[in-house]
Amino acid sequence: MRILIVEDEKPLREQILSLMATEKYACDAAADGREGLFLGSEYDYDLAIIDLGLPLLDGTQLIRELRAKERNFPILILTARGNWQDKVSGLEAGADDYLTKPFHPEELRARIHALLRRASGHASSVLRYGPITIDTSAKRVHRDETEVELTSFEYNTLTYLALHAGKNISKSELTEHLYAQDYDRDSNVIEVFVGRLRKKLDPDGSLNLISTQRGLGYRFNLDKQ
């Protein structure tokens, strides 16, 4: 999952970044509205966290411009306590949720979870695909009642593929969503991780868990239940 953070106050920005890091999300950060607009236009994020009070380009305006450009990822706005008018204008501009500063880190974590979950059209935090079960809040994976130990990259790769079950996901889409900015493209990390996932989750290939569409990408083949 790749997340954009637009926050001008450095301490808060750093705090959010480190929180996101513990969650193993790939993050890009911008310190003002204009930079945020640039990044948000450039990349396809899974979520954006935007402070409404921003230099150079107001948060509300930033959201409007992003939405005008068909950027449809969920947006969580941060507002100073007390002025609900801000929240309302932000939501009307196209944000999906808000959080009042100061906030409890745990709450931010929960809101982000909820937004990402909702954006992928899944209500419950446990995803079930036949014998494969992914608990996104505990970040644990089971196959037929027995837990499968995954590293965080293996987990992220699996989740991204599973959330787009049935779709062909290109390797570049995967790297874009699993890694932060500028990543060396000519590497075969993705192939390695897909290989590991197959070995761990479907050693004998009987599930045909992840199939490769040569030249197009990978596809997660189990239906959500």
- 152 part of the interface to DNA, by CB under 7 A: yes
Within residues 80-109, the interface with a copy of itself by CB under 8 A covers 84, 87-88, 91-92, 94-97, 104, 106-107
Structure tokens belonging to residue 33:
């509205």
- Nearest of 148, 147, 172 to residue 160 by alpha carbon: 172
Q: Which does 19 bind (CB under 5 to 8 A by kind): DNA, a copy of itself, none?
A: none
Q: Which residues of 108-140 are buried (b: 16+ CB within 10 A; e: fewer)?
A: beebbebbbbebbebeeeebbbebbbbebeeee
Q: Which does 189 bind (CB under 5 to 8 A by kind): a copy of itself, DNA, none?
A: DNA
CB distance 23 to 5 below 8 Å: no
- Nearest of 179, 215, 170, 45 to residue 115 by alpha carbon: 45
DSSP 5: E
Which of 179, 200, 207, 221: binder of DNA (CB under 7 A)? 179
* x/- track of binding to a copy of itself for residues 126-155 (CB under 8 A): ---------x-xxxx----------xxx-x
Question: Is residue 156 packed enough to be buried (19+ CB in 10 Å), middle (13-18) or exposed (0-12)?
Answer: buried
Tokens 């196209």 belong to residue: 94
Q: Which does 122 bind (CB under 5 to 8 A by kind): a copy of itself, DNA, none?
A: a copy of itself
Which of 11, 82, 121, 203: binder of a copy of itself (CB under 8 A)? 121
Residues that bind a copy of itself (CB under 8 A): 67-68, 70-72, 74, 84, 87-88, 91-92, 94-97, 104, 106-107, 110-111, 113-114, 118-119, 121-125, 135, 137-140, 151-153, 155, 166-168, 213-217, 219
Query: Which residues here bind DNA, judged by CB under 7 A?
Result: 151-154, 171, 179, 184, 187-189, 191-195, 198-199, 212, 214-217
